[in-house]
Structure 1
Amino acid sequence: MDEKTEELRDIFMEVSEEGTVTERQEAGRGSLAGDEAGETERVAAVVAEMRDRYEFATDLDDDALVRVVRGYYGGETDTAVADDLGVSRDTVIRARLDLHLVRERDLDAPFELAALRRLLGDGATVAEAADELGVSESTVRKYRRVVTARNEARRVSERFRSEFEDALGVISEDFTTEATEDGLEDATDGMETNVSF
């Protein structure tokens, strides 16, 4: 202990009725780790806000959608969440995408997603996009949902995803870097970048 610290300790001891300088610290009630009801309420509020803003592809109620969010951030598979809810895996995937929760494997398309994004942006039908990309219409429909989810999420700067993470106390960097890099890639696609200094 340096001289100033000792002086402060002595002053404290003189004015305090306590016989010791430190108190035992205990975890108080209401810690972040044990507030599952509060987390659920916050996630439900975000889900309700998204429902007001977007048209959801499934008829799952808000409680089921909260379960989808918890399953996603809990590292559960879509199949496990579907089994728990008593619905199909495809229903959970659609609900997850409605909530802007895209898994890395959702991006493993047999073509460049940027190409599909451009085709859809140019007004191509599913059949035209399938023809152009050399895949089935069902494959185009599947990845159109992914592209739509990502476009919606980008338009609001991943706001809802961030709110889910805040509500659940999740620190996520798994998707952020990749999504940012992909966004820059799409934005600079076809641009000349030959710059000399």
Structure 2
Amino acid sequence: MDEKTAELRDIFVDATGGETVTERQEEGRGSLATDSNADERIAELVARMRDRYEFGSGLSDEDYRRVVVLFFEDAPDAAIAEELGVDEAAVFDARMDLHLVRDADREAPFDLAALRSLHVEDVPMAERAAELDADEETVTHYSRVVAADVRSTRANDRFRDEFAELLTESDLKTGLTEDAREDGLREAAEDIETNVSF
């Protein structure tokens, strides 16, 4: 092994944490969403959350599991509702029960931090609406978002993080390894002077 080859090998090992690159000769990697172990673990987490919190949507545990999977596939509420045969309000309620708040859910027409304070102080909904100069229905909607965020924070985002880990860990590992391998080898190759004579 000459010096440049050894250097390339060292960079590869540093970048990927492994010394060999092999393609497995087996079934292609499927989505974790259909993996039975992931499904079982998600179902267990949903059951634990139902025991700990008061669920408001009336959906079954299996429907809640599907909400988790579809949420992490970036499906909008309308698509989730269609798949489950329920209305979007039930999907929204289920997501809040599961601490699955989207950034768009926090885009309130008033200061959400002010609503959070009113929620923590357990101010009645009518008074929240008056304080925020908004209609009670809108304030009730965003109060559900705030309540979900508060519960998630008090649980150290544990449930949401566990769902995310179950449904995205494999993709992240694969992607990071490929990126590291590509970047490390490209960087090494840029330093090699090609001297070919015929």
Indicate the residue corresponding to 2:7 in structure 1: none
Indicate the residue corresponding to 2:9 in structure 1: none
Unaligned runs of 5+ in 1: 4-21, 173-197
Deviation (angstroms), 1:59: 1.1
Q: Which has the higher contact order (CA 8 A, sep 6+)?
A: 2
Indicate the residue corresponding to 2:12 in structure 1: none
Deviation (angstroms), 1:26: 2.5
Indicate the residue corresponding to 1:129 in structure 2: 128
Deviation (angstroms), 1:120: 2.1
Indicate the residue corresponding to 2:167 in structure 1: 168
Which amino acid in the other structure matches residue 67 of structure 1? Answer: R
2:24 to 16, 23, 26: 26
Indicate the residue corresponding to 1:109 in structure 2: 108
> 1:148 and 1:23 mapped to 2: Cα distance?
47
> 1:127 and 1:120 mapped to 2: Cα distance?
12
Indicate the residue corresponding to 2:86 in structure 1: 87
Deviation (angstroms), 1:27: 4.2
> 1:63 and 1:107 mapped to 2: Cα distance?
27
Deviation (angstroms), 1:123: 2.9
Indicate the residue corresponding to 1:50 in structure 2: 49
Distance 1:90 1:24, change over 3 A: closer
The equivalences for 1:5-24 within 5 A come to none
SS of match in other structure, 2:156: coil
Normalised TM-score (structure 2): 0.71
> 1:55 and 1:92 mapped to 2: Cα distance?
15
- Between the two proteins, the alignment pairs up a number of residues equal to 156
Distance 1:131 1:41, change over 3 A: same
Indicate the residue corresponding to 2:157 in structure 1: 158
- CA-atom RMSD in angstroms: 2.6
Which amino acid in the other structure matches residue 162 of structure 2? Answer: E
Deviation (angstroms), 1:166: 1.6
Deviation (angstroms), 1:163: 0.7
Distance 1:33 1:27, change over 3 A: farther
Indicate the residue corresponding to 2:36 in structure 1: 37
Say which structure is richer in helix.
Answer: 2
SS of match in other structure, 2:80: helix
